[in-house]
Amino acid sequence: MPEARPKAIDLFAGPGGLSLGLTLSGFEVVGAVEWDPDAGATYRHNIGDHVHVGDIKRLPASQMDAELKRLGVIRRKSEIDLVCGGPPCPGFSLIGRSKIANLIKSGQWEGSDHRHAFIDDPRNELFREFVGYVAHFKPKRFLIENVRGMTSYMSAEERPIISVITSEFEALGYSVDARILNAADFGVPQNRRRVIFLGTRGKRQRIPYPEPLGIALTSRDAMADLPQVSPETGLSGGAKLELASRLGRSFRGMFLRWVRGQETPSGNRNPRRACTLHHTRPVNPRDRAVFPLLQSGEGGPRVLYRDIFPNRLAEVGAGLPDGYSLIEGDDGEPLVSGPPWGVRRSSRWGWYDPSKFGDKMRRIRGDQPAPTMVAHLAKDGYMFIHPDEDRTITVREAARFQSFPDAFDLSAGGQNSISSQFRQVGNAVPPLMAMALGAEILGSLGVTPSMTARGVYRLGRDDRAP
């Protein structure tokens, strides 16, 4: 009879990146909460039906406890070994800090005196819900993932936010560590730095952080087997991936074999060599002339949007598609004009102010890990222009940069729009980094991580240059 796996609850689960990594490391995620319906649909499609889609404030820990018992997943709450997630904390932002400080000075702050303003900030109710889950279930371990910027903020009382959060859990009897990790150190082809809190119930033990592999995958590594995409349509020029026999035996080849072959916890598999979600937005006529002028800095000087507008407009005009030209608008500013284009029927495109949006358009370096994927991808991909092709990255490329397997369907079987897919992948926790964290947490519990987790890190270390 197989040994029972430690049980976890994933809060603010998004599409399931953290749950996926933890499951692959050896955890059994038995409960999850996500408020966004699209992300919840993706989670259910790829991870399992145990996700509650809705406001966590309407599902307090006691109710989750009762539901898990009703389903027969646990008999007592002490069976939950890990509570994890990435609670949004808008109150630590610079604007939030300034506003709170002013309210305190004016006597309008209604927060209690015995707790920190950050904790009492009503915008941080979701963080308090996470604390409430830990207080209720008293798990042996907890994990929080959040943006790196948290480490640089001070409270209205000039106390580091990191210290505030740590003390909140120490008051519950936990030993807590916080450290910034870069996902690129754990097999993720993306420079994504996040602060990771690891908590252990009691004072006797702390969870070690995973060691970097000592080798990094580049953005070009992650896309090496994908077919080209048409800038005019945003659609893939082929439905098949490169032959597996051409991937090689390097760490890059191992990564590509893994994303191509790894199935999801719900049992989804990617058909052999199938190229899915490899789509993006069509490139409008103005940008078809701008994108070729952008340079990533790989093999030469970097060229950003501010280097092109307005100083290189003549080159832009020369590169416009047939039927389009530069004209002077009613306000005297240059415009790109031409016949109606695409479903939006727009025939004119203006320019962004280079003093405010100087890096609005930038090309990804192919010889380095990709930059941090962000939810803004849902609006445009101008900060993520392909290293070698004159178009923005596809959903599949963004998912590869996050280390999602190709079998992980961000469309949830066709339910979610492309914009939603981009937003989800930008908000997600990279599964391979989650797997590395899960393996260390399991080790601290005296449980051997899965063969999948051990295989990735053994191969990564063996593949380092001497």
377-401 per-position pLDDT tens digit: 999 999 999 999 999 999 999 999 9
Q: Are residues 343 and 451 in the same domain?
A: no
Highest mean pLDDT among 77-91, 431-445, 448-462: 431-445
- Asked whether residue 161 falls in the same domain as residue 294, the answer is no
My answer on whether 71 and 179 are in the same domain is: yes
Residue 125 lies in a domain: yes
Interatomic CA distance for residues 16 and 39, integer angstroms: 8
Q: Could you tell me if residue 253 is inside a domain?
A: no
User: Where are the alpha helices (H) located in 295-416, listed in sequence order?
Assistant: 305-308, 313-319, 395-401
* Residues 178, 72 within the same domain: yes
Report residue 95's pLDDT band, with 50, 70 and 90 as the boundaries: very low
Q: Exactly one of 39, 82, 89, 361 is catalytic; which is it?
A: 89
84 catalytic residue (yes or no): no
User: For residue 114, what pLDDT is reported?
Assistant: 40
Do residue 97 and residue 46 come from a single domain? yes
**Residue 161 pLDDT grade (very low, low, confident, very high; cuts 50, 70, 90):** confident
Segment 405-421 shows an average pLDDT of 98
Residue 55 lies in a domain: yes
Q: Which of 151-165, 233-247, 281-295, 321-335 bottoms out in mean pLDDT, i.e. has the lowest? A: 151-165
Share above pLDDT 90 across residues of the chain, in percent, rounded to a whole number: 78
pLDDT at 180: 95
Residues 436 and 324 in one domain: no
* pLDDT beyond 50 at 183: yes
Number of domains in the chain: 2
Burial class (CB in 10 A: 0-12, 13-18, 19+), 349: middle
The reported pTM is: 0.91
Q: In CATH, what number is assigned to the domain containing residue 54?
A: 3.40.50.150
Q: What is the rounded distance in angstroms from the CA atom of residue 222 to the CA atom of residue 217?
A: 7
Query: How far is residue 50's CA from residue 287's CA, in Å, rounded to a whole number?
Result: 44
Question: What pLDDT, on the 0 to 100 scale, is given for residue 465?
Answer: 41
Residue with the larger pLDDT of the pair 422 and 112: 422
Give the pLDDT of residue 150.
Answer: 72
Residue 7, pLDDT above cutoff 60 = yes
The answer, yes or no, to whether residue 313 has pLDDT greater than 90, is: yes
Q: 99 or 269: whose pLDDT is higher? A: 269
- 25, 129: one domain: yes
pLDDT on residue 343: 67
Residue where one domain finishes, among candidates 393, 417, 447: 393
Mean pLDDT of 94-103: 46
Asked if residue 451 and residue 330 are part of one domain, the reply reads no
Burial class (CB in 10 A: 0-12, 13-18, 19+), 347: middle
Q: Let me know whether 355 and 445 are in one domain.
A: no
- The verdict on residue 243 lying in a domain is no
Amino acid 88: pLDDT: 81
Q: What is the DSSP string of 60-123?
A: -HHHHHHHHHHTTS-SSGGGEEEEEE----GGGSHHHHHHHHHHHHHT---S-SSS-HHHH-GG
pLDDT, tens digit (0-9, with 9 covering 90-100), for 60-94: 999 999 999 999 999 999 999 999 999 887 655 44
Which of the listed residues 335, 367, 393 is the one where a domain comes to its end?
393
Separation of alpha carbons 24 and 423, rounded Å:
24
Asked if residue 205 and residue 84 are part of one domain, the reply reads: yes
In a domain, 202, yes or no: yes
pLDDT of 246 > 70? The answer is yes
Considering the domain boundaries, does residue 445 fall inside one? yes
Q: Return the pLDDT at 49.
A: 97
What is the rounded average pLDDT for all residues in the chain?
90
pLDDT score of 108 more than 50: no
User: Using DSSP, how many helices (H) and how many strands (E) does the chain show?
Assistant: 16, 12
Integer CA distances (angstroms), 387 to 28, 289, 296, 367, in order: 38, 16, 7, 9
Which domain covers residue 440, as residue numbers? Answer: 7-215+429-462
Boundary-marking domain end, from 393, 409, 442? 393
Provide the pLDDT confidence category of residue 149 given band limits of 50, 70 and 90: confident
Question: What does the alpha-carbon distance between residue 319 and residue 66 come to, in Å, rounded to a whole number?
Answer: 64
Q: Are residues 340 and 451 in the same domain?
A: no
Identify whether 274 is part of a domain. Answer: no
Q: What was the pLDDT predicted at 94?
A: 41
111: confidence class by pLDDT, cuts 50, 70, 90: very low
- One domain for residues 451 and 388: no
Question: What are the tens digits of pLDDT across the range 14-73?
Answer: 999 999 999 999 999 999 999 999 999 999 999 999 999 999 999 999 999 999 999 999
Q: Is residue 400 part of a domain?
A: no
